[in-house]
Amino acid sequence: MGRTLGAFCVLLIFVFTISRLLPGDPVERILFSQSKGGQGRLTDLTLRREKIYKELGLHLPDFYLAIGSLAIPDSFSRIQDVKLREAVVYTSYWSGDPARSFFLCTRLKQLSRLPLNITVASEDGNCKEIFSDAVLRSDDSALKKFWAELLISSEENGWRKWVPVFTVNSDNKFHRWIFGHPDTDTRYALSSDGVLLGDLGFSWSRGRQVSSLLKFPFLLSMLLAIGTIIVCAPLSLLSGAFLTLKKNSRWVRVGHVLSVLVYSMPMFWVAVLLLYFLASPLFLNLLPSSAPVLTTDGSVADWLLSIVYQWRNFVIPFVAMACTTYIYHSQFVYEMLLEETAKPYVVTLRAKGLSESQILFSRALKNITVPYIISLLNLFPALISGSIIMDYLFTLNGMGTIIIQACDVRDFPVIAGVLLIVGGFTILIYPLTDVLVALIDPRLKNTAEK
């Protein structure tokens, strides 16, 4: 129990870090993805950028503890314009005077004389020349006076960049994501209850609740994965036992080579081959190759019904996912049974006069159930991967499409939501495995409880 909780905590921090590390400005990408066709007016764009910036809470620091320096205080993260923020940060880093740097840069921006190549130039440390050039070319006398003051103060304040400043923030992005925040400003109806209470937040690019956005994709992935496990478990058990019974037959050996060949094929290629042979006009035109249309605005029952009506669209993805699992596990059962039948108790059973099939089905299979179930459930992450590939290939509107689009527009709540749901579900499966194993074999109860 404690282990599972610890795993959840680490998962939360990991997911947060991963999704925040992605480079690029989310606001720019969201604006770009929203403005289809016509270019908005400049003031309109600025207003919208400001609105999105405040809605997303991007002005907040990332974590409870932040490290800044005297030259770069963390209040700089409130500057919304990326270009302006970079200019201010680099100027302040060079001069060690945050307030004066901020005023200089904003004034230069008003005069639209802000140097654009500031980041590149500052890598070499010649920020000063670029700025003096920009200031001297302007006619603003106040600005020139201000620049002279900054030059003098920069000689005294050069040391300030070396001094770390630690700030503790009670209100930050991580806190809001975990515990939620009440919405005091009525303009932005974006309050959330936080991840801890199961509220994954609001999708930035699609403007919907993440949980409602991910509901059906997640159910689809679960359906494919759990369906694969349910179908493959008895089948592979039976065929493994059959292989053990007929292990000296030539056909079994040929079948073994073929199944290893199919097992080593990449899953997407198997699916493409199935499409070519079963769903193309060149060979058998049995199944449709088009994407299914699922009803995602109704209840789960409606959605399930729409899947049942269009079951022909799901045959190929399901078979492509299942055949890898099936082959792997029938080989697994085969090898385990070979080991099992070499044990002394099987010799005794044979001496007593039991037939091979009696030995296998009533004795040996019982003994391999526990490792078999563990291996099946450990396959769960791989099955989720498989469902994502199938989703991409057949446009099923599952987790795959969602996460690719979300990464493209840096839609942080959606990325975090996908990672959190998938990881959380898998973490929950491990204690489930323990319980299941303890139910099947009471001898293992003590080891499961540990």
Partner 1 sequence: MNVKGFLVNIFDFLKRTWQGRFLLVVFFLVISAPLWMNESPLLRYDKGDISFPFLSSEKYGESNSLSTDGWEVNALLMYSPNSVDPLNDGFVGPFDQQYQLSETGERERISIRKRHWLGTNLRGNDLLADVIYGTRNSMIIALSGACLSLVFAAVLGFVGGWYFQTGIKTNIARLLLSVVAFVWILFIQENILIYSDRLIALIGLLIFILPLNWLLTRVEVRFLQSNIAIRIDDIIGLISGLLLSLPRLVILLAIMQLLKPSLLSMIILLGFTGWIELSRLIRSEIIRLKSNSFLDAAVMSGVKGQRLMLKHVLPNVWPSIVVLFIYTISGNTNIESILSFMGMGLPPDVPSLGRTIGSGKFDYEVWWIFFLPGLWLSMILYCFFKVAESYRKQLNG
Contact positions toward partner 1, by CB under 8 A? 6-7, 10-11, 14, 18-19, 21-24, 67-69, 71-72, 89-90, 93, 122-125, 161-162, 164, 260-261, 263-269, 272-273, 275-276, 280-282, 289, 381-382, 384-385, 388-389, 392-393, 399-400, 403-404, 407, 415, 418-419, 422-423, 426-427, 430
Q: Is 69 within 8 Å of 165 (Cβ atoms)?
A: yes
- Helices 267-278/315-341 angle, 10° precision: 120
CB of 171 to partner 1, least distance (A): 20
Please count the other Cβ atoms lying within 10 Å of the Cβ belonging to residue 177. Answer: 25
Measured from the CB atom, the residue of 260 and 440 that comes closer to partner 1 is 260
Closest listed residue to residue 190, CA positions, set 58, 81, 366: 58
CB of 405 to partner 1, least distance (A): 11
Helix/strand/coil (H/E/C) assignment for every residue in 131-168: HHHHHHHCCCHHHHHHHHHHHHHHHHCHHHHHCEEEEE
CB of 56 to partner 1, least distance (A): 19
**DSSP label at 397?**
-
User: Number of C-alpha atoms within 13 angstroms, CB side, residue 340?
Assistant: 24
CB of 380 to partner 1, least distance (A): 9
Measured from the CB atom, the residue of 92 and 236 that comes closer to partner 1 is 92
Measured from the CB atom, the residue of 354 and 389 that comes closer to partner 1 is 389
Q: Give the containing element (helix H, strand E) for 65.
A: strand 65-69
CB of 351 to partner 1, least distance (A): 27
CB of 13 to partner 1, least distance (A): 9
Measured from the CB atom, the residue of 130 and 143 that comes closer to partner 1 is 130
Apex 282 CA angle, 277 and 287, nearest 5: 50
Cα–Cα dist 317/278, whole Å: 12
Per-residue buried b or exposed e for 366-380, using 16+ beta carbons within 10 Å of the residue's own CB? ebbebebbeebbebb
Measured from the CB atom, the residue of 71 and 135 that comes closer to partner 1 is 71
CB of 195 to partner 1, least distance (A): 16
Measured from the CB atom, the residue of 284 and 440 that comes closer to partner 1 is 284
Cα dist from 257 to 253, 270, 277, 331, 344, whole Å = 6, 17, 22, 11, 30
Measured from the CB atom, the residue of 4 and 362 that comes closer to partner 1 is 4
